Structure formats: structure tokens, C-alpha cells
Structure 1
Amino acid sequence: MILCVGLATVDLVYRVDRIPGADEKAQATGFEVAAGGPAANAAVTAAALGAPVTLVTAIGSHPLGALIRSDLEAHGVRVIDAAHDSAGPPPVSSIVVAGRDRTIISRNAGNLRLAVPPDGLPEADLTLVDGHHPVLAVAAAKAARRLVVDAGTWRPVFADILPHAEVVACSAAFRHPAGAVDAPHVVVTHGPEPVTWVSGGVTRLIAVPPVEAVETSGAGDAFHGALAHALHEAATMDAALTEAIRVAGVRVAHPGARDWLSSL
């Protein structure tokens, strides 16, 4: 089983012909509501690829939380809500997409403080954390048999998480304040450019096949979910990265939050 721990949001996705400017109104050409967030999107990807997946996150009892649960469960993800008694709204993101351009306004976890569920975290063969909900993230990292860290941007909690990681997958924007990340495998994505993989002091480049990108939202999350799935299936690191690149390529070649999954 793959355990994903981190952020789940309500994503309100508006599609427009172009990103509007200040004080400008725009008529949406399309609209979607889906669960979002790095850990949630990675969980959906791994589940679509065939793995049993559990997501530990914070949703709460607010009516908007039902949107998150229904989407995740419809895509095969078991959900454990560490904030089930919270009446406040869950994290919400408004995403305006115009082709490959996007603007995101989000209220992520805010000031919500969580504890590990009374029954603890479920055992898993592989764990993925995104650094949101720090108490849950640290507990999951310490208990993980194998840990993949989605390090999109630096978060202070990563100082406690990274020492437990087998794989740290960073975006090119990630900046560790102490310098280099110390983990058995450090992966850095650069959009359409080759993926950098550092292991045992050796740096390798993994080519990214050209893709006609239609929408880039969630590409990194898809990459992380596919990487976790491949490692869970005992793939070598080289093969796992190749698969993660393939899946991210499928994601960007299709518009929409979930329709692309049928092309995997």
C-alpha cells in the first residue's frame, strides 16, 4: 500500500481565453470542481496506475469537504481525515487557466493545527509526503519504510523530514537554505527540460520526450504519484523516473483535472 500524507483542497478551475488583468472581468469557457493539492493529486495518480492508496489529510465536516471526499473516493483513494471534527471550510484554490498559462489563488492549510489520528497512521510499503500539515508529515516520515518527499518549494518542516527520505523530488524552484539536499536520491524537474537525478555523488540527466503541452496544472503532482507507484512496484530508480516522466507527459497533453487518467 502507498500512503500519501499532505494537502487536499477544493479546486475551482476556470478556463478562459486569456488571463484577465486588474479590474477586468472574463467569461469562463469552462469550469470544473475537483479535489486538488500535491498529496491528493499524487494519490489519485498512483491509484489510477493500480496501487492501493490511502491519503491522510485534513478536510473537516464543512459541506465543501464532501466535494473532496467524493472525488478522491471515486478515483480509488481511501481517505483518512485528521480534521473530521473541524467545522471550518477546507483549503480552497481558485485556478484560472488559459492554455499553458495559469493563475492560482489559494488558501492552503492556513493555521489549522492537527494531531496524528488516535489510531495512528496506517502501515505502508511506501510513503509520500508533501510537507503540508507538519505534524502529520513528520510522523509519517519517521514511520516510513520508504519515503518519497514532494519538495516543490522549501518549507521549514522539511528540515525534520528530509533526513528520513529515500527520494527527494524537487522542482527547479526548490531552494534548501543549507545548500545541497542530502538523500540517497535527489531528483529535480525542469519542466520540459531533462530531469536531474543525483545519486551516490553522480549526476545523471533523464531526457523528457517532447510533448505538445495543453495544460500544465498538476504535472508535478502526477510525476510524484507515478514515481511513488513505480517504486512501490519495485522498479529501479532509472525505470521509475522514466515512468514518472511518461505519466507527467500524459498529464500535460490533456486538459481537465481528471479526464487525462483514462489515457494512462
Structure 2
Amino acid sequence: MVCCGLATLDLAYVVARPPLVDEKVVARELRVDAGGPALNAARTVVALGGRATLVTALGSGPLADLVRSRLGGVTVVDVAPGDHTPPVSTVMVDDSGGRAVVSTNATRLGSPAPVSLPSDADALLVDGHLMTTSTALAASAGGPPVILDGGSWKDGLERLLPRVSVAALSAAFRLPDGDDALTGVIRRGAAAAVRTHGPLPVEILSAGQLRRVAVPPADVVDSLGAGDVFHGALAFALARGAGLDDAVAGAVVLASESVRHPGAMGWASGA
């Protein structure tokens, strides 16, 4: 499976609560890890026993090396020029398990190197952060399903959506014209749409039918990366031939398990 999109260095501070304006707080813990929607999806696929190639922009230098060190088992295709450095995200995780994130993204990249989809790719997941590369890969995908991790609207999605098999949207996803998210992305070309709502049921819209999948209750320790885990598990199941409803149901269970553990991949290591 190929995952295309953002890779970051995440600095996660565990705090009782986020600071107010002009206030300083002392973190109970600092966690340093790699992050990004496509990166965490690729790590999820590997943790589930699959093979994943991550097409991303890392570049060179100590920050890029640190991100690479957290990608055991993932094949990396770097489309960045050598002087590029990966974005850094600062994350605060509070006692409720909720998180606040401040980050840069991949908009500083410029022109990424061209890349082609491997002939044996059984699915393509894109998060929209490398839009030119994602659109080119989706155009060459042919048979394998193309899954969009739709955290937010990004310029160029109107060209990508006609290539998308399943648009998996967050609760925060909004279309520029205010159209309903599920029906709107299908009207713009996606074959099917899924939308998560945190602990509330996941919505599925395909073939004109709306269904809902319940989310198992969970004692939340850390919600960071739960959506990435959901998307990785969803794409992996679709790559293996699962139907959409079954793929969503399995991904929901794994994402719910992930929030019981610290960090995006704590569930995989038993942390």
C-alpha cells in the first residue's frame, strides 16, 4: 500500500490543561515522535502486518533523520529537495486526552520530485498535503482503491476528488461553499464518503444510502493520531478486499483502542 502526504516531527507535551494567554505551565511529560496523517497511516498498516510505502517530503538534516528513525518497516520515497526540513508540530495533550496542535505543513515544499505508483500497489491513501504528487499518483492508480484522509479542505481537492474511491472526512471538514460534506464530496466526484465524529457514530454514504457505525466506548488517554489510525486501518482493509461497511467497522474498533494509549502508535507497542 502507498500512503502519500505529510510527515512531521511531533513534540507532544502532557499537561493538566493548556496555558492561558501570558501563562506558563510545566509539562508532566515530553514525547518526541514522528507524525502526520499519511505517516501514521503507513505505520498503522505495518503494525497490522501489511507493507507500506510512504511518499512524503523529508529532506535532510537532524530533524529528517529523527523522523526516519521512527519509520521502522516503512519504505520511504522522499520527494523533497535535499535542503528541505520536515515540519515540526507542537502538541499539548491534557487530562481529558484531548489535544491542541500548532504546526506548519508542506506548503513550503515548492516543486516535489516526480514519482510513480508501484505496479503492485493495492491501495493509495492520500492526505492532500502533497496535492500535486497525490493527484498524479491517483491518476495513475487504475484499479486499486484511492482513499482520501480529509481532515480539512485543501486547494486542489476539486481535481483529486474525481479519482477518490472513499473520501474519509473528519468532523471538522468543511467545503468552501458550505455544502454538506458527505453529499458534497460525492457530488464533486468521490465514489463514497465516510465521516467521523469523535465518539459519535461514523457516517457512511455510498450508492445513495446513509448508514451509521457505532463507536465503542473508550477511556481516553490520548486522542492524538486516532484519526490517522482509523484511516490507515480503513485503507488496509479496503486493500485486502473488505467491503466499505466492514472496513469502517474494523477501523473504528482500532481507533477506539488507540485512544486508550499514549501517542499515535502506543496501541501497537502496548504502551
Whether the 8 Å contact between 1:15 and 1:97 is mirrored in structure 2 is yes
1:181 aligns with 2:181: no
Worse-superposed segment, 172-181 or 33-42: 172-181
State the one-letter code of the partner of 1:94. Answer: T
Tell me what 2:13 maps to: 14
Whether the 8 Å contact between 1:19 and 1:101 is mirrored in structure 2 is no
**Structure 1 SS opposite 2:86:** coil
The within-5 A match list for 1:188-207 is 188-207=195-214
Tell me what 1:89 maps to: 85
The within-5 A match list for 1:243-262 is 243-262=250-269
Q: What number of residue pairs does the alignment pair up?
A: 259
Please, what is the CA RMSD of the aligned residues?
1.6
**Structure 2 SS opposite 1:194:** strand
Q: How far apart, CA to CA, are the structure 1 residues paired with 2:64 and 2:49?
A: 25
Per the normalisation by structure 1, the TM-score is 0.93
Q: How far apart, CA to CA, are the structure 2 residues paired with 1:101 and 1:126?
A: 31
Tell me what 1:235 maps to: 242
The Cα shift of 1:116 comes to 3.8
The within-5 A match list for 1:121-136 is 121-123=117-119, 124-136=121-133
The Cα shift of 1:20 comes to 1.2
Whether the 8 Å contact between 2:44 and 2:265 is mirrored in structure 1 is no
The within-5 A match list for 1:1-264 is 2-72=1-71, 74=72, 76-83=73-80, 85-99=81-95, 100-117=97-114, 120-123=116-119, 124-144=121-141, 145-177=144-176, 179=179, 180-182=184-186, 183-263=190-270
- Which structure 1 segments of 5+ residues have no match? none
- Which structure 2 segments of 5+ residues have no match? none
Whether the 8 Å contact between 1:116 and 1:135 is mirrored in structure 2 is no
Whether the 8 Å contact between 1:114 and 1:136 is mirrored in structure 2 is no
Detail structure 1 runs of 4+ shifted over 6 Å in the superposition: none
The Cα shift of 1:127 comes to 0.2
1:94-144 deviations in Å (ceiling 9; x for gaps): 111112232211011132113343x63323110000000111111111112
**Structure 2 SS opposite 1:31:** strand
Q: How far apart, CA to CA, are the structure 2 residues paired with 1:142 and 1:111?
A: 24
Whether the 8 Å contact between 2:226 and 2:264 is mirrored in structure 1 is no
Q: How far apart, CA to CA, are the structure 1 residues paired with 2:266 and 2:98?
A: 19
The Cα shift of 1:263 comes to 4.7
Whether the 8 Å contact between 2:258 and 2:265 is mirrored in structure 1 is no
Q: How far apart, CA to CA, are the structure 2 residues paired with 1:52 and 1:207?
A: 29
Per the normalisation by structure 2, the TM-score is 0.91
Worse-superposed segment, 234-243 or 250-259: 250-259
**Structure 1 SS opposite 2:147:** strand
Q: How far apart, CA to CA, are the structure 2 residues paired with 1:213 and 1:93?
A: 21
**Structure 2 SS opposite 1:4:** strand
Q: How far apart, CA to CA, are the structure 1 residues paired with 2:75 and 2:134?
A: 18
Q: How far apart, CA to CA, are the structure 2 residues paired with 1:36 and 1:6?
A: 11
State the one-letter code of the partner of 1:93. Answer: S
1:192-225 deviations in Å (ceiling 9; x for gaps): 0000000110100111111111111111111000
State the one-letter code of the partner of 2:102. Answer: I
